[in-house]
Amino acid sequence: MRVIGFSRGRYYVYIDREPLVGHIAFGVIDRGTNVLQIRPTTICPYSCIYCSVDAGPFSRHRQTEYIVDVRHLVKWVRYVYDYKGGDVVEGLIDGVGEPPTYPYIVELVSSLKKFLPRVAMETRGGTLTKELVDALARAGLDRFNVSIDTLRKEKAVYLQNTPWYNVERVREVVEYIVRETDIDVTLTPVWIPGINDEDIEEVVEWGLRIGVGKRFPPFGIQKYEVHKYGRKIPGVREPTWSEFRDFLEVLENRYGVPLHYKKLDFGIRKTKAVEPIYRVGERVVARVVGSGWLWREVLGVDYRENVNITIVDIDFSPSLIGKRIDVRIIRNRDSIYVARKE
Ligand code: SF4
């Protein structure tokens, strides 16, 4: 890995040699289903007021943005795919950044399509152009999950906290995708109670009108959730799951389409998962390879097991690079490893 930039107090790091399993922000994540999450970049140009991963120019918690080398990433996806005996139905390019801004996104999709049955991508849509959409269609992209929380211009600028975000342009591009390409669209707005209730309804009406969801569920409404390092909207309470279900049920009855995630059929099922290498509480030696994603984190690697380990509660300094540190594992779920210095 190498530092390719430093801006607004953040490192920009290119990863081309380190393992790509073990970190939540980049690489490959297997949560024990037939869908693999593929994370090529942490960079996002928006600063949504509710962002659960505190992305974008206004981030307060991030120390590093990562960009992964495309060939290296495909090699690791293939490794996890083979480990699972090929029991993978979809590669979902998602993450804590905005996938279409990844400079090698077309190459990534076409390389993945050589062995994955389908490839989908999450996006906010503001950086999509018809040219990029056409290139992704030729590369074999199967679906966009477009997160569009309102159709109103000013409200979209407020929610995305991005003056240049033009939801009317996003609408045009989405309509182009549905009309002119084989790529399907699932609309995935975030419901924020009291902020965009009517807007969600308008998004559903618009989606039905233009014909999203030709092969996949047309909608996958998301719930506003508050996370420790995410952004919170002052004065807005996170809805409970039953409030969320009740809200969706009203719309489901009105429009006759399933909206609750438990009713949506993306063909996802449980499969063999990558086994956690460590137990929680286990002592491990990690070598520091760079700055951590968030402040007070460093990025470590266990080269014996070939996995990343995030070491928390430690300040990064370049003098730490190459040092071996004794750590104790505090998280191992989904083969994402977090540890604390001993
Ligand atoms: S919610 Fe998504 S699009 Fe918005 S800032 Fe966060 S990562 Fe970016």
The neighbour count for residue 252, using CB atoms within 10 Å, is 17
Instruction: pLDDT band for 14, please (50, 70, 90 cuts).
Output: very high
Does the pLDDT at position 167 exceed 80? yes
Report pLDDT for 290: 97
124 ligand 1 Cβ < 6 A = yes
Please tell me the distance between residue 55's alpha carbon and the centre of ligand 1 in angstroms.
6
| Lowest mean pLDDT across 107-111, 273-277, 323-327 | 273-277
pLDDT tens by residue, 196-212: 999 999 999 999 999 99
Are 322 and 236 members of one domain?
no
56 ligand 1 Cβ < 6 A = yes
Please tell me the distance between residue 252's alpha carbon and the centre of ligand 1 in angstroms.
26
Are 254 and 295 members of one domain?
no
Distance CA 185, CA 176 (A): 11
Please tell me the distance between residue 213's alpha carbon and the centre of ligand 1 in angstroms.
23
Are 216 and 330 members of one domain?
no
Question: Does some domain include residue 114?
Answer: yes
Instruction: pLDDT band for 164, please (50, 70, 90 cuts).
Output: very high
Are 223 and 309 members of one domain?
no
Query: Contacts for 153-159 with beta carbons within 8 Å, 24 or more apart?
Result: 155/196, 155/199, 158/49, 159/48, 159/49, 159/50, 159/192, 159/195, 159/196
Please tell me the distance between residue 222's alpha carbon and the centre of ligand 1 in angstroms.
13
| Full DSSP string of 131-167 | HHHHHHHHHT--EEEE----S-HHHHHHHHT-TT--H
CATH code for the domain of 248: 3.20.20.70
Report pLDDT for 270: 93
Are 294 and 254 members of one domain?
no
Please tell me the distance between residue 52's alpha carbon and the centre of ligand 1 in angstroms.
8
Confidence (pTM): 0.97
- Residue span of the structural domain in which 104 resides: 2-263
Report pLDDT for 157: 98
Pairing of strands 90-93, 118-123: parallel
Question: Does some domain include residue 158?
Answer: yes
Are 205 and 301 members of one domain?
no
CATH code for the domain of 288: 2.40.50
Are 295 and 176 members of one domain?
no
* Residue where a domain stops, chosen among 212, 231, 263: 263
Q: What is the mean pLDDT of residues 22-35?
A: 97
Does the pLDDT at position 261 exceed 80? no
Question: Does some domain include residue 271?
Answer: no
Report pLDDT for 123: 98
Number of domains in the chain: 2
Please tell me the distance between residue 50's alpha carbon and the centre of ligand 1 in angstroms.
8
Are 250 and 295 members of one domain?
no
pLDDT tens by residue, 61-113: 999 999 999 999 999 999 999 999 999 999 999 999 999 999 999 999 999 99
Substitution candidate for ligand 1 out of 24, 37, 51, 190 with most atoms within 8 A of CB: 51
Question: Does some domain include residue 35?
Answer: yes
288 ligand 1 Cβ < 6 A = no
Are 236 and 321 members of one domain?
no
Are 184 and 252 members of one domain?
yes
Q: What is the mean pLDDT of residues 116-128?
A: 98
The neighbour count for residue 319, using CB atoms within 10 Å, is 8
Mean pLDDT of the chain: 96
Does the pLDDT at position 216 exceed 90? yes
Distance CA 85, CA 93 (A): 20
Instruction: pLDDT band for 262, please (50, 70, 90 cuts).
Output: confident
Does the pLDDT at position 128 exceed 90? yes
Are 291 and 238 members of one domain?
no
* Residue where a domain stops, chosen among 263, 292, 313: 263
| Lowest mean pLDDT across 66-70, 135-139, 259-263, 319-323 | 259-263
Substitution candidate for ligand 1 out of 52, 53, 146, 161 with most atoms within 8 A of CB: 53
